[in-house]
Structure 1
Amino acid sequence: MSTNERTRRPEIAGPEPAPGPDPGLRAERVGRRADGRLIVDGVTLSLRPGETVGLLGPNGSGKSTLLRLLSGVLAASTGVVTLEGRPLPQVGRRATARRVAAVEQHAHTQTELTVREVVALGRIPHRRAWSPAPGADGPAVTDALERTGLTGRAAQSWHTLSGGERQRAQIARALAQEPRELLLDEPTNHLDIQHQLDLLDLVVSLPVTTVIALHDLNLAAMYCDRLLVLRDGRTVAEGTPADVLTPSLIQDVYGVRTEVTHAPGHPVIRYLRHRTAAPPTGQ
């Protein structure tokens, strides 16, 4: 989904932004250093309202770190992440959380919570400190459960859900925040094919701007409007799936040979086996 037609009231407290279009969430030459090395190095990303941006790259390329920088969980060592034209530290953690929701790769809790209680955690940024859950949270939680197909599971223990259902519950929690931007870190990991497709169908149907880290290049081609490819923390390529997913780029970034054809609307990647040595001849 490339256009977000649903309008929302601004959620961020503080000075009014300058007149003109909402600049949304933006990373400007951001870097993050850890253990003496750059995990993310000078990455720039601007998000357009309603689009789905895929983050691609091998393990260790900086995808997860970039998502944490965008959400404000990590602070940039260099560069700046802005929301509505203001650096995230000026916006503040609570106000950022009202606008930007993140779903990590793995979610665990030792507390016995129902699915509805897990989803209701998404309302915390909208509550006053130390205040109980207000009744006004109910419609947002109910709507999030309906959107993710979990209404019938609302009273069930979160621990009894399947992997795919837990992922949907975490997305429902994020939706209960009523965000404009949704950040997802490899949400299809450990899901079977049907649940991968179901989850991504859900994600692209949502009235939000989405950044999603993926490993599967064909899923990225099918569901993303734009791709950002990282390697060693740096941007290698950015553009539409048709522009980015070429055999030469895949070989360069992932070290594998491919054939790329173009189905209606998106490229299709076929992986080629590594060349093997000829079998030994008889003596």
Structure 2
Amino acid sequence: MTDSTAETPGLESAATPEAASGLRADRVSRRTDGRLIVDGITLTLRPGETVGLLGPNGSGKSTLLRLLAGILAPSAGVVTLDGRPLPQVGRRATARRIATVEQHAHTQTELTVREVVALGRIPHRRAWASASAVDTRAVDAALERSGLTDRAGQSWHTLSGGERQRTQIARALAQEPRELLLDEPTNHLDIQHQLDLLDLVVSLPIAAVIALHDLNLAAMYCDRLLVLREGRVVAEGAPGDVLTPSLIKRVYDVQADVTHDPGHPVIRFLRRTAKP
């Protein structure tokens, strides 16, 4: 493990034909108010895999997701979709491929859950066109997969924080993306719904990037981890290779024991001071 993205496993695939397919960030940086938030990160998202973004607050996870989605433009480097820079792909075409779920979603408009989920179909319709039968089926399927069918007619403003998050997941599913970007989607969810949501994400035949704080959830559900600190990649690889006591101490400044269940590591954090 090194602080240099040039030595990060997997970056050598940049010149292969497969690297031109799908979503890729190539040495992207983002500077805001004179401060470097993301510093030279390269990430190739492979078909069908789930990548976990880890790192403390302020490490650049949310900014990297917004760069991948085309919401922000990189100060340096390029984000490509099937080998084309996102500005050349265009916002509408990008939105048909990439769905995002951010940490906080707000609306002043009085909308029902179904109406919020139906927003995911906008990239698939012509301007001012009414919803088609295909749109209706996609919304129905997204509501069902997210466990929200019985809440479809309920006002968005009456939902709990967890229910709002599930509604945003359903909106992303209705978009029928091939790439899904989620920024701390398990926030505000109880344990059951955290597991249900991540079970759903990894069951989808799409590639996903998920920013997470819970290292155990990342170890359970992610095929690959990208660990950030101060905007740079400090480790990348399979959870069992990345989540070591030394890495956790280095990135999070906490002590942890790491054991290995079949298939993934299990992290147990240690108290800073023992009880008297």
TM over 0.5: yes
Query: How many angstroms apart in 2 are the aligned matches of 1:75 and 1:30?
Result: 9
1:183 matched to which residue of 2? 181
Deviation at 1:152, TM superposition (A): 1.7
2:243 matched to which residue of 1? 245
1:116-169 residue CA offsets vs partner (Å, 9 max, x unmatched): 111000011112223333443111111111211211211121222232222111
1:54-98 residue CA offsets vs partner (Å, 9 max, x unmatched): 000000000000000000000011000000010000000110000
1:207 matched to which residue of 2? 205
Aligned partner of residue 58 in structure 1, secondary structure? coil
Aligned partner of residue 108 in structure 2, secondary structure? coil
1:34 matched to which residue of 2? 32
Aligned partner of residue 73 in structure 2, secondary structure? coil
2:124 matched to which residue of 1? 126
Deviation at 1:194, TM superposition (A): 1.9
Aligned partner of residue 136 in structure 1, secondary structure? helix
5+ long unaligned stretches in structure 1: 1-19
1:50 aligns with 2:15: no
Query: How many angstroms apart in 2 are the aligned matches of 1:250 and 1:244?
Result: 9
Query: How many angstroms apart in 1 are the aligned matches of 2:101 and 2:222?
Result: 17
1:227-261 residue CA offsets vs partner (Å, 9 max, x unmatched): 00000000000000000000000000000001000
The percentage of aligned residue pairs carrying the same residue is 81
| Counterpart residue identity of residue 157, structure 1 | S
2:137 to 130, 135, 139: 139
| Counterpart residue identity of residue 191, structure 1 | L
Query: How many angstroms apart in 2 are the aligned matches of 1:45 and 1:219?
Result: 21
1:274 matched to which residue of 2? 272
Structure-to-structure mapping, 1:49-198, within 5 angstroms = 49-198=47-196
Query: How many angstroms apart in 2 are the aligned matches of 1:126 and 1:205?
Result: 23
1:173-213 residue CA offsets vs partner (Å, 9 max, x unmatched): 01111100000000111222222112111211122111000
Structure-to-structure mapping, 1:224-235, within 5 angstroms = 224-235=222-233
Is 2:162–2:187's contact at 8 Å kept on the other side of the alignment?
Answer: no
Query: How many angstroms apart in 1 are the aligned matches of 2:187 and 2:221?
Result: 16
1:25 matched to which residue of 2? 23
1:263 to 257, 261, 264: 261
Which moved further from structure 2: 266-275 or 221-230? 266-275
| Higher Cα Rg, which structure | 1
Structure-to-structure mapping, 1:5-16, within 5 angstroms = none
Structure-to-structure mapping, 1:210-225, within 5 angstroms = 210-225=208-223
| Counterpart residue identity of residue 36, structure 1 | G
| Counterpart residue identity of residue 247, structure 1 | P
Is 2:112–2:156's contact at 8 Å kept on the other side of the alignment?
Answer: yes
5+ long unaligned stretches in structure 2: 1-16
Query: How many angstroms apart in 2 are the aligned matches of 1:165 and 1:237?
Result: 33
| Counterpart residue identity of residue 122, structure 2 | I
Query: How many angstroms apart in 2 are the aligned matches of 1:232 and 1:224?
Result: 22
Larger relative helix fraction: 2
